[in-house]
Amino acid sequence: MNQLPTTTGKVIVCDGNEAAAWGACLSRPDMVAVYPITPQSSLVEYLAEFIADGRMDADLMDVEGEHTVLSVLHGAVLAGARTYSATSAQGLAFMFEPYFRTPGLRLPMVVSLVTRDAVSPTCVWGGQQDAMTVKEVGWIHMYCETQQEILDTIPIAYKVAEHPDVMLPVNVNHDGNYLSYGVARVELPPQSVVDAFLGEKQVNWHACLDPERPMAVDPLTGGAGGIGPSMFVKYRKGICAGMQDALRVIEEAHEDWGKRTGRYWSPLIEEYRMEDAEVALVTIGSMTGAAKDAVDTAREAGRKIGLVKIKTFRPFPAARIAQALSKVKAIGVVDRSVNFGWNCGPVFQEVLAAMYAQPVRIPMMSFIGGLAGADITVEHFATVVERTFRLAGGETAAGPVWLNEND
Amino acid sequence: MGVAFDSISFKASLCDGCGDCMTACSEAKSGASRISIVPGAKAGGYEAALCRQCGDPKCAQVCPSGALDKDGGNGVIGWDAAKCVDCLLCTAGCVYGGIAVDPNVSRVAKCDQCDGDPACVKVCPTGALEFRKAGSIFNEYGAKEDLFVPGLSGCQGCNSELIMRHAMRKIGRNSVLATPPGCIPGMGSVGYNGKTGTKVPVFHPLLTNTASMLSGIRRYYDRIGRKDIVVMALAGDGGTADCGFHAVSGAAERGEKVLYVCVDNEGYMNTGMQRSGTTPYGSWTSTTPVGEHMKGKTQDAKNLPLIMTAHKCRYVATASTGYMEDLYEKLDRAIEASFEGFSYLHIYSPCPTGWRIPSNKVIDACRMSVDSNFNPLWEYTNTTGLRFTHSPDNAYPITEYVKMIGKYRHLSPDQLAHIQAKVDEQVALLKLMAAESSPPPAAHRAPAGASTPAGAESSQPARREIARN
């Protein structure tokens, strides 16, 4: 699905954090608020550098913490600005209070999550525990596989966030360490292409703080009696509707981006060698590359295996996933984080729920790998492939399998 | 509404009989003084005979020639020398002794308030004489639009509602207002269920992020050239001193062009009167109760306005609704400063419900909190430093303040002594800062003549001792 970059833009070699910074730069945000945290720090350093050099015409807000990062952006969006920021793990945790209210206010903004395992035990390396922990808040979550996909997904995310049918914040997630510091060839689309793609910003037409258009933003809603609870329900249902509409808008935005740049990324899920697959792997994020190699190796050995990569995790493309996986005999889901109350990975649980609507039960197994910045190697995936085939052969699933337990 | 005018007020308790006012008046008017300091009914006390510029002036009523007349513009009773027949009936008609006779020329000497800058007030070393401009300010404010809806659900006598309505009258419609969780949104400033309580754009930040959200709004408006909008908070002390402090401190450090008003009612009053970082030592609150093992709050309050001066804010001031004219002047300066940098106004706001004060005593408590130095009034700019806007000398003892307030009812003598000591310590520090940053006040000239009270020449602390006894 990932075509080679067209040569319409400048080609650079950069890591994932710089790719994200370029994605933001090309999207022309008015305001950028930053606070550094590993493994995101170099991303905000790039932003600061771009602004210092005049490459990026945005107001840089160097603030005292992530709580304020998101808070100043709330104010800016309500005043009419397009905004951008990025964070990780503890920063996201400290940001949680304003994070929680962003979708409730229907503020369209884009924030990159450079995913990381969350303390304790203290750990500053990659993982997806941070992003997975906030999946129920109302932000759209998209996970990227490569540096180029990071760059391209950021303008796409603005297009989705600001769509009148969506009006929700978007997290564009890329794996800390692996993608944040890993270097690759990346093509920068010309500014004119991104400008034409994004068009006029549509940020605060629905709620604003402007003396020329006075309104109360976020009045106390709910309570017993009157229209309170029904109004609150209306708001909640509105977010749900925006999420469901986003499934369509995300596909449209990816399609439009593909036409303009020649890069057609899979918007919701990517099906890899699934045509006649008897066994399927499900992956998310940067691990997908190694998984595809493992699939190729297995295919060369004559084994019918395919892969489904999840790009859009919220809204969860349940129907598409069920459709893609409905004909296989076993499914192995690989997570980079832990769902503590379910003794499995969170993506596993989501796929399990999506598959429940199918007429037949397909055996599934949860694999957890890549914690604490560990690489998920082709060897790990060989294990995943092997266990999933054994599952298809009738072996009882006992999960989760901790892939880097002995690394 | 009625019309009110500026007037010269006299506080007998502060007068030490030095007579400087009389000297200044006769110098300014080149004749007899139009104000007289006379021995009071109490031994050692003084009273002033001065023109009250009565609303129903007897002097004018008894004047047979129409030489005396009240000016409808400034309220001053004017004397027309050409019409006067020198009968001196007016001096008999005035029960206050407000019109004197100048023996040198045998004509009346009538106070004209020196065109709004009375010489007597300027020289009074004790603050006994004060030119009160509140009257005309209220006239001006009465004519301005109230930017909150009628019927906000504040408690009876709520001082915060008074602050909100008056502050927003001054600031006007070209503003964006943040009211973080607390009494101010609790009484409906942002509104309920889709309805608004304010006529300007208003929002409900989080308790923790008021200054941050305002920074974002202001930065963007500056970016697009809309620099004349006042971006401001009406925040409580909890959201400012405690969980919101990082945001306030960060915005101040960055010099964000924000007007931040902290309405300090010394606790989380909206949610049931719990303690905050600005709750003073010894206070009863629902989380610092009075019982066998605990007698109210065991820590001193953090002095937030003083902390803000250390942030080199463009403007920092303390204010009180007990001194509205002072508050209005500070609002003017705070608004102006907010276009240049972080502007912080800390307004003390007694809470009748949470502090256990009768609602009709709130303003008295405001005034006494200032007069006892519990909450001294001062202002600071990052260029001129700190100056008092109300004399911290001749303060009442702290007991006069705490006895008005139910939350201090249980205080032991030790606790009272602690509070007095902390108040003295704070005033000493502020005085040090004021002395470092502005020229010292004019020396107090030694009083002359038999009317000199004992101890008048002694130092300022001694004067305070006299006041306390």
- pLDDT tens for B148-170 read 999 899 999 999 999 999 999 99
Q: How far is A63 from chain B (nearest CA, A)?
A: 7
- Residue A189 and residue A159 share a domain: yes
State whether A164 and A290 are in the same domain. no
Q: Categorize the per-residue pLDDT at A150 as very low, low, confident or very high, splitting at 50, 70 and 90.
A: very high
pLDDT tens per residue, range B233-255: 999 999 999 999 999 999 999 99
CB contact under 8 A, B216 and A228: no
Which of A224-228, A237-241, A315-319 is the least confident region?
A: A224-228
Buried b (16+ CB within 10 A) or exposed e, A298-327: beeeeebbbbbbbbbbbbbbbebbbebbee
**Which residues in chain B have Cβ-Cβ distances shorter than 8 Å to A216?**
190-191, 195-198, 201-203
Whether residue A64 and residue B250 make contact (CB cut-off 8 A), yes or no, is: yes
Query: Distances in Å between the alpha carbon of B458 and those of A200, B441, B446?
Result: 74, 16, 10
- Are the CB atoms for A306 and A272 separated by under 8 Å? yes
In this structure, are A80 and A192 located in the same domain? yes
Q: Is B341 on the interface with A (CB under 8 A)?
A: no
What is the mean pLDDT of the segment spanning B29-45? 90
d(CA B365, CA B403): 10
If DSSP codes are grouped into helix, strand and coil, which group holds residue B394? coil
Please tell me the least confidently modeled range out of A175-189, A264-278, A292-306, B7-21.
B7-21
DSSP assignment of A57-98, as one string?
--EEEE-SSHHHHHHHHHHHHHHT--EEEEE-HHHHHHTHHH
Q: Is the CB of residue B149 less than 8 Å away from at least one CB of chain A? A: no
The CA R_g of chain B, rounded to the nearest whole Å, is 24
Secondary structure (3-state) at B49:
strand
Q: How far is CA A127 from the centre of its chain?
A: 13
pLDDT given for residue B271 in this prediction: 81
Chain A environment of B217 (Cβ under 8 Å)? 75-76, 78-79, 209
Please say whether the dihedral angle defined by the alpha carbons of residues B39, B45, B48 and B52, taken in this order, is positive or negative.
negative
Res. B438 pLDDT band, cuts 50 70 90 = low
d(CA B18, CA B55) in angstroms, rounded, equals: 30
B212 touches chain A (CB under 8 A): yes
CATH no. for residue A83? 3.40.50.970
CA gap B413, B416 in Å, rounded: 5
**Best interface-test mutation with B: which of A34, A56, A69, A71 has the largest number of B CBs within 10 A?**
A71
CB contact under 8 A, A216 and B201: yes
* Position B463 pLDDT exceeds 80: no
Residue-wise pLDDT for B315-352, tens only, equals 999 999 999 989 999 999 999 999 999 999 999 999 99
Closest alpha carbon within chain B to A64? B250
Question: Does A75 sit within 8 Å of B212, measured CB to CB?
Answer: yes
Q: A246 and A290 share a domain?
A: no
Total count of domains within chain A = 2
- pLDDT at residue B449 is higher than 90: no
Mean pLDDT of all residues in A251-255: 98
Q: Is residue A244 part of a domain?
A: yes
Any domain includes A212: no
> Does A312 map to a domain?
yes
The mean per-residue pLDDT over the stretch A321-338 comes to 97
User: In chain B, whose CA is at the least distance from the CA of A226?
Assistant: B193
B 220-249: CB under 8 A from A = 220-221, 223-224, 229, 246-247, 249
The answer to whether the CB of B208 falls within 8 A of the CB of B244 is: yes
Measured in angstroms, the CA of B239 and the nearest CA of chain A are apart by 14
Please tell me whether residues A304 and A187 are part of one structural domain: no
Specify the pLDDT at position B270. Answer: 86
Among A10-14, A154-158, B12-16, the minimum mean pLDDT is found in: B12-16
**Residues A64, A193 within the same domain:** yes
Q: What percent of chain B has pLDDT over 90?
A: 76
Q: Residue A285 is part of which domain span?
A: 269-402
Pick the more confident residue, B139 or B242. Answer: B242
Nearest to B94 by CA among B53, B130, B48, B41: B53
Best residue of B152, B187, B209 to probe chain A, by most A CBs closer than 10 Å: B209
pLDDT at B464 exceeding the cut of 50: no
B246–A75 C-beta distance less than 8 A = no
Q: Does residue A303 fall inside a structural domain?
A: yes
The pLDDT score that the predictor gives to residue B41 is 85
Chain A residue with minimal CA distance to B197? A216
pLDDT band at B439 (very low <50, low <70, confident <90, very high): low
Contact A95, A8 (CB under 8 A): no
- Residue B2: what pLDDT? 64
Residue where the block lists tokens 């793609």:
A197
* pLDDT reading at B450 higher than 70: no
Instruction: Please compute the mean of the pLDDT values over residues B90-98 and round it to a whole number.
Output: 91
Select the highest-mean-pLDDT range: B35-44, B127-136, B301-310.
Answer: B301-310
Nearest to B201 among A63, A68, A214 (CB): A214
Reported as a pLDDT band with limits 50, 70 and 90, residue B212 is very high
- Residue B445 pLDDT: 39
Contacts for B309 with CB less than 8 Å, ≥ 6 apart: B316, B380, B386, B433
Question: Nearest by CB to A211, which of B173, B194, B205?
Answer: B173
Contact A72 B221 (CB under 8 A): no
CA angle B217, B221, B225 (to 5 degrees): 170
B446: pLDDT confidence band, cut at 50, 70 and 90? Answer: very low
Inside any domain, residue A37: yes
Name the pLDDT band for B192 (thresholds 50, 70, 90): confident
Nearest to B220 among A30, A219, A228 (CB): A30
Q: Torsions phi, psi of B309, nearest 5?
A: -65, -35
Residues A196 and A304 in one domain: no
Q: To the nearest whole percent, how much of chain B has pLDDT over 70? A: 93
Other CB atoms within 10 A of residue B187 CB: 20
- Contact criterion met (CB < 8 Å) for B216 and A218: no
Q: Strands of A3-47 (E only): list them.
A: 10-15, 31-34
Q: Looking at the complex, report in whole angstroms how far the Cα of residue B171 sits from the nearest Cα belonging to chain A.
A: 12
Assess whether pLDDT exceeds 90 at residue B415.
yes
Query: With an 8 Å Cβ cutoff, are B216 and A79 in contact?
Result: yes
Residue A356 lies in a domain: yes
- How far off is chain A from B271, nearest CA to CA, in Å? 15
Nearest CA in chain B to A210: B201
Q: What is the pTM of this model?
A: 0.87
B181: nearest CA partner in chain A: A220
- B220–A81 CB contact, under 8 Å: yes
Q: Is residue A229 in some structural domain?
A: no
**Among partner residues A30, A62, A68, which is closest to B212 by beta-carbon distance?**
A68
Q: Do residue A19 and residue A165 come from a single domain?
A: yes
Q: Is the pLDDT of residue A196 over 80?
A: yes
Regarding whether A182 and A52 lie in a shared domain, the answer is: yes
- Assess whether A182 and A43 both reside in one domain: yes
Q: Which pLDDT score is estimated for B444?
A: 42
* CA distances from residue B368 to A383, B46, B146, B152, B416 in whole angstroms, order as listed: 78, 21, 28, 27, 16
pLDDT above 70 coverage of chain A, percent? 98
> Which residues on neighbouring strands pair with residue A81, listed in sequence order?
none
Q: Are A274 and A324 in contact (CB under 8 A)?
A: yes
Q: Is residue A115 part of a domain?
A: yes
The beta-carbon neighbor of B204 closest among A214, A218, A231 is: A218
Work out the pLDDT band at A226, boundaries 50, 70, 90.
confident
Name the average pLDDT for chain B.
90
Identify the structural domains of chain B with CATH numbers, from first to last.
7-135 (3.30.70.20), 144-436 (3.40.50.970)
Does B460 score more than 60 pLDDT? no
- Between chains, do B217 and A79 touch, taking CB under 8 Å as contact? yes
pLDDT grade, residue B459 (50/70/90)? very low
Q: Running DSSP on this structure, what letter comes out for residue B239? A: I
Average pLDDT, integer, range B69-82: 90
Per-residue pLDDT, B440: 43
A33 shares a domain with A160: yes
Quick one: A31 and A59 in the same domain? yes
Give residues with Cβ within 8 angstroms of B281, minimum separation 6. B296, B297, B298, B299, B300, B301, B415, B418, B419, B422
Q: How many CB contacts within 8 angstroms connect chain A with chain B?
A: 153
Contacts of B252 in chain A (CB under 8 A): none
Q: For residue A235, list chain B residues with Cβ-Cβ distance below 8 A.
A: none
d(CA A292, CA A271): 11
pLDDT, position B195? 85
Distance CA B203, CA A217 (A): 5
**Chain A residues with CB within 8 Å of chain B CB:** 30-31, 33, 59, 61-65, 67-68, 71-81, 97-98, 101, 208-211, 213-223, 226-228, 231
Nearest CA in chain B to A233: B193
Nearest to B217 among A33, A209, A226 (CB): A209
Whether B209 sits inside 8 A of A74 (CB atoms) is yes
Q: Does B173 touch chain A (CB under 8 A)?
A: yes
